[in-house]
Each structure stands twice: as C-alpha cells, then as structure tokens.
Amino acid sequence: MKLNFNYQFAKNFFNENELKQIKPYVELANEVLTSKSGAGNDFLGWIDLPENYDKDEFARIKKAAEKIKNDSEVLVVIGIGGSYLGAKAAIEFLSHSFYNNLPKDKRKTPEIYFAGTNMSGVYLQHLIDVVGDRDFSVNVISKSGTTTEPAIAFRVFKKMLEEKYGKEEAAKRIYATTDKEKGALKTLATAEGYETFVVPDNVGGRFSVLTAVGLLPIAAAGINIDDLMAGAKDAMNDFANKNMDENQALQYAAVRNILHRKGKDLELMVNYEPRVHYLAEWWKQLFGESEGKEGKGIFSTSAVFTTDLHSIGQYIQEGNRNIFETVINIIDMNEEDIIMQVQENNEDNLNYLENMTLDYINKKTMEGALDAHLEGDVPSILINLEKLDEENIGFLIYFFEKACAIYCRLLGVDAFNQPGVEAYKRNMGMLLNKP
C-alpha cells in the first residue's frame, strides 16, 4: 500500500461512534460523486482521468518534452493557480532540492522557472536576467488566454523569443495548453502554429495536474509521467471502494468533517521535508478554492517543520484551539543521507547522535511534535507515504482530489466553482480602466 491514513493522534477529540454515525452520509456523498450527479457534475472528468486520458495527446506530450530537453537550456512555464501549482509541486517533490542550480551534466534536463504567477515586474525582470542569452522555450497555460498575470508574462516572453529566433522559429518553441476550441490563446495558437495541448472542459484547474496542464512541465523535468499516471490509477481503483471502512479517502473526509463540526476551523498541512512545500501549496488551492464559499469551510494553510516550529510552534502548542494538523510523513526518502559522527571536541553536545542519520533524527522530531501537540489539544492526522517516487505522488494527488470532493459534498457546497475569485478581477479591471 502506497499510502496509510492514520488518525490515532486525533482520536481523543471525538468518539469512534461519530465515525459510524457519519458513515452513511459519507458513502452517499461518494455515490453521488461517482455517479457524476449533483452540483458541479460538468467538472468530474478527473474521476476516471487516470484511466481514460487522451493517449495520443499523452504521446505528444512526451515527444514535446524530449524536444524541449534537446533544444532548450531553460523552460519558462507560464500560468497561475491550478495552471502551475500541480506541476511545481511534482517537480519539487521528485527532483533535486537545488534542481535549477545543478550543473547541466548532472541535471540533463532544462532549468524550469515559473512566470505569470504574480504581478511583480521585479520578479519578471529578474527571470529575464536568469534566462539571458540561453536557448529557451515557453509553455503557456491558460484556458482563456486572458487571465491578467499569465497574459502579461506571455507577452514579455513571446517578444523575447521572436526577437531571438524570428517569428517562425519562435513559434516552434511555444507550447500552448489551452481550451480545445475557443479563447484568445487557442485562436493565437492556431494562427501562429504553436503546438497545442488541451485543458479538458470537464476538469477544473485545481484538479488538472494529471492533464497536459501539469504533465508537459513535469515530463520536461525528466520525471516519468507513465509511472505518475499508474500511481493515480491505483488510487482511482482503491478509492472506488464504496465502504468507508476500506476507503482511506472517505475516512479523511469524514474525520475532517467531524473535527470541523467541533470548532476546528483551520487545517495546517505539515511536512518535514522542504521539497514537499509546494505539494502543500497545491493542496491549499485544492481545498481552499473548493470548500471556501457560502461562509463555510476549513481554512487551509501549511508549515514546514522543523523550520516553522521555531516560528509558529508556540502558537500551535498554546494558541487558539481552533486548529488541527495533517502531517505528511515519507517513510523511505530513497536518497543519500548524512550520518552523524563523533567529534573529539563535543562543544555542541551532539555526540549522543552518533551513527544516527538526519532522516532518523527528523522522524523522531516528528514523533515528539505529534505527542507535544496532542498534549496541547491539537488533533493530528498522519498520512504516511511509502516513498518519494512518481507512483506515490500520483497516488497522493488522487487521494486528496477524491477526499476534497467528498468533503465538499458533506459540507453542501459545489467543489468545482469559484465565484469569489472573480471579485478581485472585477475590481482590478475597474481600477485600471479596463474596457
């Protein structure tokens, strides 16, 4: 089993009987979801995506990724929200911690940078400086092509490409991931001859990491997307189980719901590896944008321990008791580690750690923090992941997608719309005199 859901550090906060009582409602929510009925049923293509994806496009994605590897030192991925978070999460999760800084002979794939994720001109100029005179390609990801942040970034890098290579050659270095038939980017891509990949109509942005949206940048980073999809397919099959007692995604949704009803309004995703940071950023959008509407929902945030134990650890231990933790624990890091050695001069008093690996010390720290937070009345959910590889993150991605959709059904909200996102866009347009 790739994933183990463990709520032993939350059991003190509710009765097992509460799980039995909520079970029929969770199973009904699952039935409504898997039958593709109920609110947002136009956006349920992600449910069977790991099996029923476009195989021809998948082959084109791998071919395009190879071309990018061969002709580009840098790939600039342009997108915001669900158009970049999943790809960045997978790349950071599975790659060297300093991927872009490795010498090319060790990396053997292009440096990958993300643009269109903000409005900062300084950030964009600094990225231009990093690209410099080197060969590069662009993957622009936008269903409409008019979302302000990525549209601005694409203008800038499209101009750079055309000035460097000429319009015809530049077009061969632009990969557009957009709507199948309509929108400004689709129109431009058709007119200019960009290779185009599809954002499926029935898969919303925050559920789109296993489509071309995420797969092209992930593949360009040298990650095996066949294994990624295989892991997601395993999860799809596992979490199709209608019995909550045998379905960990349903259990996670149930425990979240019970804790929320008891006043736990903030969920802190905790990890002990910096490379998992962007997985939490993806998770924050997945849950926050899905459940945060109609005055409802749990506020999703995150922390990297032990780093953040030295900043917000005090609050977690003794602050407002409206929080719970979901802890990602990777059992086998499958990487080289550092072993502590004895020093004659033991001024730092660390000789007691002799022959211990840092991973072992890190995991003991996790156990200590779980116990301490339990004493501090903070329930913790533990998600144990077998190891760091493509199949496991594919499995984990689908686990969260399924649990999120079920939880929103229990909450009584449409997981697949985001009406509140449009408010800032509308106000921004008015202030900038947008026609």
Judge if 257 and 399 occupy the same domain: yes
307 falls within a domain: yes
Q: Are 159 and 204 in contact (CB under 8 A)?
A: no
Among 171, 194, 223, the domain-final residue is 223
Judge if 365 and 246 occupy the same domain: yes
Instruction: Give the gyration radius of the chain's Cα atoms.
Output: 23
* Domain total in the chain: 2
199 falls within a domain: yes
What's the CA gap between 113 and 92, in Å, rounded?
12
- The average pLDDT across 230-238 equals 97
Q: Which amino acid is at 109?
A: T
In 307-327, which positions are buried (b, 16+ CB within 10 angstroms) versus exposed (e)?
eebeeebeebeeeeeebbbbb
Determine the pLDDT at residue 157: 97
Adjacency order of strands within the sheet including 74-78? 111-115, 74-78, 136-141, 174-178, 195-198
- Classify the C-alpha dihedral 87-88-94-98 as positive or negative: positive
Determine the pLDDT at residue 432: 76
Determine the pLDDT at residue 369: 96
353 falls within a domain: yes
Judge if 330 and 393 occupy the same domain: yes
Q: pLDDT digits over 252-304, tens only?
A: 999 999 999 999 999 999 999 999 999 999 999 999 999 999 999 999 999 99
What's the CA gap between 28 and 40, in Å, rounded?
16
Judge if 110 and 195 occupy the same domain: yes
Nearest residue to 290 via CA among 44, 24, 84: 44
Determine the pLDDT at residue 421: 75
Among 181, 198, 223, the domain-final residue is 223
Judge if 117 and 253 occupy the same domain: no
289 falls within a domain: yes
Judge if 89 and 119 occupy the same domain: yes
416 falls within a domain: no
432 falls within a domain: no
Judge if 78 and 209 occupy the same domain: yes
Among 170, 191, 223, the domain-final residue is 223
- Active-site pick, 104, 364, 425, 434: 425
349 falls within a domain: yes
Judge if 189 and 243 occupy the same domain: no
Judge if 307 and 330 occupy the same domain: yes
Average pLDDT, the chain: 94
Is 289 catalytic? The answer is yes
- Active-site pick, 16, 55, 106, 310: 310
Q: pLDDT digits over 184-194, tens only?
A: 999 999 999 99
Determine the pLDDT at residue 1: 60
421 falls within a domain: no
- The average pLDDT across 369-391 equals 95
pLDDT confidence band for 320 (50 / 70 / 90): very high
Judge if 168 and 256 occupy the same domain: no
Determine the pLDDT at residue 111: 97
The percentage of residues in the chain with a pLDDT greater than 90, rounded to a whole number, is 87
Structure pTM? 0.95
Determine the pLDDT at residue 105: 87
- Active-site pick, 111, 195, 289, 325: 289
Q: pLDDT digits over 69-97, tens only?
A: 999 999 999 999 999 999 999 999 999 99
Domain interval for residue 167? 55-223
Determine the pLDDT at residue 155: 96
Judge if 212 and 357 occupy the same domain: no
Q: Name beta bridge partners: 139.
A: 77, 175
Q: Are 137 and 68 in contact (CB under 8 A)?
A: yes
The CATH number covering residue 131 comes to 3.40.50.10490
Judge if 152 and 268 occupy the same domain: no
What's the CA gap between 350 and 354, in Å, rounded?
8
Is 126 catalytic? The answer is no
Nearest residue to 189 via CA among 204, 200, 199, 179: 179
Q: pLDDT digits over 132-152, tens only?
A: 999 999 999 999 888 899 999
